[in-house]
Amino acid sequence: MFFRILFVTIFWTSSCFCLSLEKMNVELNYPWGMTWIDSTKLLITEKKSKQIILYDTKTNQSKFINHTIPVQGREQGGLLDIISEGNTVWVSCSIKKDHLLTTAIFKSRLENDSLVDTELIFEALPYIGSGVHFGSRLEIQGDYLFASIGERGKGMIAQDPTNSIGSIIRVHKDGRAPNDNPYIDNPNWLPQVFQIGVRNPQGMSIDPLTKTIYISNHGPKGGDFVGPVIKGTNYGWKRVGWGGKNYSGRQIGDGKAWEPGLLKPDYIWVPSIGVGGIKFYQGDTFPQWNNSLLVGSLKFRYLSVLPRLNNGFGEEKIIFQDKIGRIRDIEINQKGEIYLIADEYQTFLYKLVP
């Protein structure tokens, strides 16, 4: 007999209902991103090994996908996010040139067990020697591809829209810059740049109510946040720190969490939770969470939900903590079951069900 699940952990949440975490039969090594290619199959990236794994949730079988993406990275770099439409696949990663690194996006086509016709459609300029803050979550909205680009530890570079470091970019799916991006009205902006002033945004999801894309963003010592991606706006890094301080304890800028003219985040954590992947929930499995935002914490190793409250979010509610490690990414299937990966060595794919 073929068993689908390795084990089940059952627990009660603070909302007084019973949940189970099912450990799926696919071993992973520092996974980073996931995407559905149909109703049952997931593509999963591994940051350090540079592997892409295809896992079938129906048959419980997995296999490696061949690819030629020139991933080069260290520290926080490597093979990062992945997103797909049919057999078209986009992958973000760190790449190297002249001993320097940057965030890049490649477009490929999945054919049998390989990614073929791979082409570079975006590279964040300039290349920088740092191995941190690549950002790198991807989202598709209509004809456009959005991507988050970290500021690579360089602070005020995120205030310069003539480069794409510390920004949210918006391009067509082939990498072309849309003719309604902010540069049309402001020639100082790089054509691909849609929003500036972010530090290290590693989560992205579309709000089902407003159809607005939201990001999660790492603050320094305090100041993690979630907020909308709005054309031509500026979240302010490193003029402001969203309530956080430098790791040295010194204040950022004038010590303000926000300044007039900057976009305000919708929800801020002080101290930081190491905010990872986010996902707006829609489905029948957990109807009490519909249209709310699921949030993964890397630092405190929890999954939480931010319930909707008017145009923002209510008080965060932790669903579980210290069950699977540093939660990196969240995906939801057509049944509304929640799949999770953790940024851990020798980990697994997990499914959350009632």
CA pair distance 3, 1, nearest whole angstrom: 6
User: Cα separation of 327 and 295, whole Å?
Assistant: 9
pLDDT, tens digit (0-9, with 9 covering 90-100), for 341-350? 999 999 999 9
pLDDT band at residue 256 using 50, 70 and 90 as cut-offs: confident
pLDDT digits (tens, 9 = 90+) for 304-340: 999 998 888 999 999 999 999 999 999 999 999 999 9
Other Cβ atoms less than 10 A from the Cβ of 258: the count is 17
Contact predicate 147/138, CB 8 Å: yes
Is the pLDDT confidence value at 266 over 90? Answer: yes
pLDDT of 8 over the 70 cut: no
pLDDT digits (tens, 9 = 90+) for 128-139: 999 999 999 999
Res 18: pLDDT: 83
pLDDT above 70 covers a percentage of the chain that reads 95
What CA–CA distance (Å, rounded) separates 159 from 217? 16
Is it the case that residue 14 has pLDDT exceeding 70? no
Mean pLDDT of 180-206: 97
Relative to beta strand 144-149, strand 135-141 is antiparallel
Is a pLDDT exceeding 50 seen at residue 63?
yes
Count how many Cα atoms sit within 13 Å of the Cα of residue 253 in the half-sphere of its side chain: 19
Q: With a threshold of 0.85, does the pTM exceed it?
A: yes
**Cα–Cα distance between 104 and 164 in angstroms, integer?**
11
Q: What integer is the mean pLDDT of 52-75? A: 95
**Confidence grade of residue 255 (pLDDT, cut at 50, 70, 90):** confident
Q: Please report, for the chain, the start and end positions of each structural domain, with discontinuous segments joined by +.
A: 5-353
Q: Say what the pLDDT of residue 4 is.
A: 45
> How much is the pLDDT for 6?
56
The predicted structure's pLDDT at residue 285: 95
pLDDT at residue 190 above 90? yes
Q: What is the pLDDT of residues 140-189, one digit of tens each?
A: 999 999 999 999 999 999 999 999 999 999 999 999 999 999 999 999 99
pLDDT of residue 283 exceeding 60 = yes
Q: Which residue has the higher pLDDT, 67 or 7?
A: 67
Above 50 in pLDDT, residue 2? no
Report the alpha-carbon distance of residue 284 to residue 288 in Å, rounded.
9
Are the beta carbons of 347 and 25 closer than 8 angstroms?
Answer: no
The pLDDT, as a whole number, for residue 13 is: 66
Architecture of domain 5-353: 6 Propeller (2.120)
Burial 286-298 (b: 16+ CB within 10 A, else e): beebeebbbbbbb
pLDDT at 15: 59
How many contiguous H segments (helices) and E segments (strands) does the chain have? 0, 27
Separation in Å, CA 151 to CA 42, 127, 166, 172, 248: 30, 11, 4, 22, 19
Model pLDDT for residues 92-109, shown as the tens digit of each residue: 999 999 999 999 999 999
